[in-house]
Amino acid sequence: MRILILSLALFFTCAPFTCGSSFGQAPDARETPRPHSTESLEEELEHQMEGKGHKEVHGERDFFWMEYQRQPWRNPQEQRRMLKILLAWLILDAILVLYVFFIRKVRVRGKVP
């Protein structure tokens, strides 16, 4: 019961901070065009992905908009990065499976008691 009360208290304290997307920080892209921007978002995004930092567009620093654009389900660059990570884990898993189920078994079997 104590855990339950603690969790509920934690939830009601944290919920307003975690529900960011419906508080108007990330507006609906179909309805609200980005104000005063003449450059494409992709161009700006590439600029930031290259590590040059956030590019100031007309003196406006709309961090939340950038954050919204970088959602992995929405951004092809993030998806490519995700594929690379996926490949890395696949290789790592294959090595571990080989070690746990084959190499180690052979080594254990070959030991003289």
Partner 1 sequence: MRPANIWQIGRLTLCEWTRKKVFYMFFIVALAFFGLAFTLNFFNLGPQARFTMDLSLTAMGLFTAILSLGLSLSAIPQDLENKTAWCLLSRPVSRFDYLCGKFLGTVLLILIILSILTVELVVVTFLKENRLHWTILQAGLLLWVESLVLTAVVLTFSLPFSPPMNAAFSSFVYAVGHLSSTYIQALSQESRNVAGGIPVLLLKLALPQLQYFDLKSAVVQGYPVPLGYTGEAVLYGLLYALMVLLLGELLLSRKDL
Q: Out of 51, 59, 110, 113, which residue is the one contacting partner 1 (CB under 8 A)?
A: 51
- Looking from the CA of 63 toward its CB, the CA atoms found within 13 Å total 1
Report the distance separating Cα 2 and Cα 108, nearest Å: 48
Choose which of 42, 89, 102, 103 interacts with partner 1 (CB under 8 A): 89
CB 30 to partner 1: min, Å: 8
Using a 10 angstrom Cβ sphere, with 0-12 exposed, 13-18 middle and 19 or more buried, the burial of residue 70 is middle
Report the C-alpha gap between 60 and 58 in whole angstroms: 5
Q: Can you read off the two tokens belonging to residue 58?
A: 């007309």
Closest approach of Cβ 109 to partner 1, in Å?
14
Contact between 62 and partner 1 (CB under 8 A)? no
Rule CB under 8 A: say whether 22 interacts with partner 1.
yes
* H-helix segments, 1-113: 2-18, 41-47, 63-69, 76-98, 104-110
Tell me the number of residues near partner 1 by CB under 8 A.
43
| Out of 100, 102, 103, 107, the residue judged to bind partner 1 by CB under 8 A | 100
Site for partner 1, rule CB under 8 A: 1, 3-4, 7-8, 10-11, 14-15, 18-19, 21-22, 26, 28-29, 48, 51, 53, 66-68, 70-74, 78-79, 81-83, 85-86, 88-90, 92-93, 96-97, 100-101
